[in-house]
């Protein structure tokens, strides 16, 4: 309630109290005068019947009784015949109490009216401020109804806070976009020398078959592949951070996505003489982006292949229930070190059992891609040995 409304309320309450006091005083005086008049009428009427010659004398006494002093003997005489204060009070008390109750009930009703009105105004203002904050949280542009009342200070602070948060969000988005743009620029600039190095390797391979040259070329080719993977991973992560990577939402068959994820890794798996076991199940369908989901699963399979060792085994299976579609990727290697488990999906983190060429962005990239598609990714060690990745794509919103 603002100062003006509070001042009006106080003045209205004071006016009501004065009016009620005046009304009660007037009512009490009317009742008292009426009672005294009735007593005088009874006395005159009795005197006119029993002692007519004393009528004028009694009337004169009644008129002068208001200013005359009362003697002790008169009080004792009245008390003797039962004309005490309680005798008169017994007749007037119910009337006075009734008038007082009505008056205080009137004051209470006036107070209740103003109190209810004030509470309704407070509830309406709280509702307006709550609706404004809900609109802001949901990203809807809305205007705050500014007015002068007891909520003005709170309203002003909310407005300034929302403006500051909005400005901070815009600055953060701008900085994140700048970072993504810088990473994208670096990645694109790296592509040129990588392409040139790859071309030179091909030219050298065509020139001769010297044994030492072939060893160096293999190493150079390995480093180029690593750089290409790093650049592609950084570019994808930067687009994910900036929110510029568009992921399609289409119905995908789990088996076909798994096969697509395995295809690029077949040469690596054959070279290491590993067994890839994909356990085909009844049809399992989920919503996601085919290319990027296959990319995420391919990183998981690649990680298992690196840790399974020569002649190892990689098992992939899937199933579906009413809540989610689950894909399990496991190997029979040594598993994850317990100290590594909390950090596996951190960017550029290399575990104790990581291979020497590991960069540390594959698992982080997979986690980001899966979570962007309403999914989860968890890593754990199996009871019978080996590492296991559990991917779940949930139906609708979790």
For the cut 90, the answer to whether the pLDDT of residue 331 exceeds it is yes
CB-CB contact of 318 with 252 (8 Å): no
How many residues can be counted in the chain? 398
How far apart CA 233 and CA 364 sit, in angstroms, is 10
Going by pLDDT thresholds of 50, 70 and 90, the confidence category of residue 240 is confident
How far apart CA 222 and CA 204 sit, in angstroms, is 15
How far apart CA 111 and CA 7 sit, in angstroms, is 15
CB-CB contact of 366 with 346 (8 Å): no
What pLDDT shows up at residue 81?
58
CB-CB contact of 226 with 190 (8 Å): no
CB-CB contact of 201 with 217 (8 Å): yes
Going by pLDDT thresholds of 50, 70 and 90, the confidence category of residue 275 is very high
What pLDDT shows up at residue 70?
58
Query: Which pair of tokens denotes residue 207?
Result: 């020139």
What's the average model confidence in pLDDT over 212-226?
A: 71
Q: Where are the domains of the chain?
A: 3-137, 152-242, 250-394
What pLDDT shows up at residue 11?
76
250-394 has the same fold as 152-242 = no
Q: What CATH topology corresponds to 250-394?
A: Heat Shock Protein 90 (3.30.565)
How far apart CA 164 and CA 54 sit, in angstroms, is 96
What pLDDT shows up at residue 210?
58
**Per residue in 119-171, pLDDT tens?**
888 888 788 878 877 877 777 767 766 666 677 777 778 878 888 888 888 88
- Count of C-beta atoms within a 10 Å radius of residue 248: 13
Region of 374 on the Ramachandran plot (φ > 0 left; ψ -120 to 50 alpha; else beta): left
Question: What string of DSSP letters covers 342-380?
Answer: GGTTSTT---TT--TT--S-HHHHHHHHHHTTTEEEEEE
Residue 354 phi, psi dihedral angles, 5° rounding: -70, 145
Q: Between the ranges 38-42, 60-64, 212-216, 379-383, where is the mean pLDDT highest?
A: 379-383
How far apart CA 295 and CA 291 sit, in angstroms, is 6
What's the average model confidence in pLDDT over 210-224?
A: 69
What's the average model confidence in pLDDT over 104-114?
A: 77
Q: What is the pTM of this model?
A: 0.51
**Per residue in 61-79, pLDDT tens?**
666 665 656 566 666 666 6
For the cut 60, the answer to whether the pLDDT of residue 249 exceeds it is yes
For the cut 90, the answer to whether the pLDDT of residue 52 exceeds it is no
For the cut 80, the answer to whether the pLDDT of residue 271 exceeds it is yes
CB-CB contact of 338 with 308 (8 Å): no
What's the average model confidence in pLDDT over 270-278?
A: 91
User: Quick one: how far is CA 309 from the chain centroid?
Assistant: 48
Q: Which DSSP state fits 69?
A: P
CB-CB contact of 304 with 387 (8 Å): yes
Average of per-residue pLDDT values in the chain: 78
Q: 3-class DSSP state for residue 71?
A: coil
- List C-alpha distances in Å: 161 to 148, 228, 267: 19, 45, 57
- Domain 152-242: give its CATH architecture: Orthogonal Bundle (1.10)
Angle, vertex CA 329, rays to CA 325 and CA 334, nearest 5: 150
How far apart CA 40 and CA 59 sit, in angstroms, is 8
- Residue 251: which residues within 8 A CB-CB, separation 6 or more? 285, 286, 287
């Amino acid at each position: 309630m603002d100062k003006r409304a509070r001042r009006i309320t106080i003045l209205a309450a004071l006016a009501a109290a004065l009016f009620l006091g005046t009304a009660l005083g007037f009512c009490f005086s009317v009742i008292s005068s009426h009672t005294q008049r009735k007593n005088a009428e009874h006395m005159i009427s009795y005197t006119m019947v029993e002692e007519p010659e004393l009528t004028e004398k009694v009337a004169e006494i009644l008129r002068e009784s208001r200013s005359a002093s009362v003697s002790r003997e008169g009080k004792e005489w009245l008390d003797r015949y039962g004309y005490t204060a309680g005798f008169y009070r017994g007749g007037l008390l119910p009337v006075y109490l009734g008038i007082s109750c009505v008056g205080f009930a009137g004051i209470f009703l006036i107070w209740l009216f103003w109190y209810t009105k004030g509470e309704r105004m407070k509830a309406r203002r709280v509702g307006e401020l709550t609706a404004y904050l809900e609109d802001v949280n949901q990203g809807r542009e809305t205007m705050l109804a500014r007015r002068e009342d007891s909520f003005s200070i709170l309203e002003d602070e909310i407005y300034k806070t929302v403006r500051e948060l909005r400005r901070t969000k815009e600055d953060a988005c701008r900085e994140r976009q700048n970072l993504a743009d810088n990473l994208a620029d670096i990645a694109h600039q790296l592509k040129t020398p990588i392409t040139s190095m790859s071309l030179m390797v091909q030219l050298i391979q065509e020139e001769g078959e010297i044994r030492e040259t072939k060893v160096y070329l293999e190493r150079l080719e390995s480093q180029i592949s690593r750089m290409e993977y790093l650049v592609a991973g950084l570019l994808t992560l930067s687009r994910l951070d900036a929110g510029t990577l568009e992921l399609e939402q289409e119905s995908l068959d789990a088996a076909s996505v798994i096969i697509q994820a395995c295809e690029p890794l077949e040469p690596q798996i054959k070279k290491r003489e590993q067994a890839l076991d994909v356990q085909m199940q009844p049809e399992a369908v989920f919503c996601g982006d085919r290319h990027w989901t296959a990319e995420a699963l391919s990183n998981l399979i690649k990680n298992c292949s690196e840790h399974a060792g020569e002649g190892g085994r990689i098992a992939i299976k899937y199933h579906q229930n009413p809540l989610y579609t689950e894909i399990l990727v496991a190997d029979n290697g040594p598993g994850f070190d317990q100290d590594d488990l909390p950090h596996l999906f951190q960017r550029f983190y290399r575990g104790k059992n990581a291979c020497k060429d590991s960069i540390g962005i594959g698992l982080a990239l997979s986690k980001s891609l899966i979570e962007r598609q309403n999914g989860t990714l968890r890593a754990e060690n199996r009871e019978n040995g080996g590492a296991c990745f559990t991917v779940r794509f949930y139906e609708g919103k979790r």
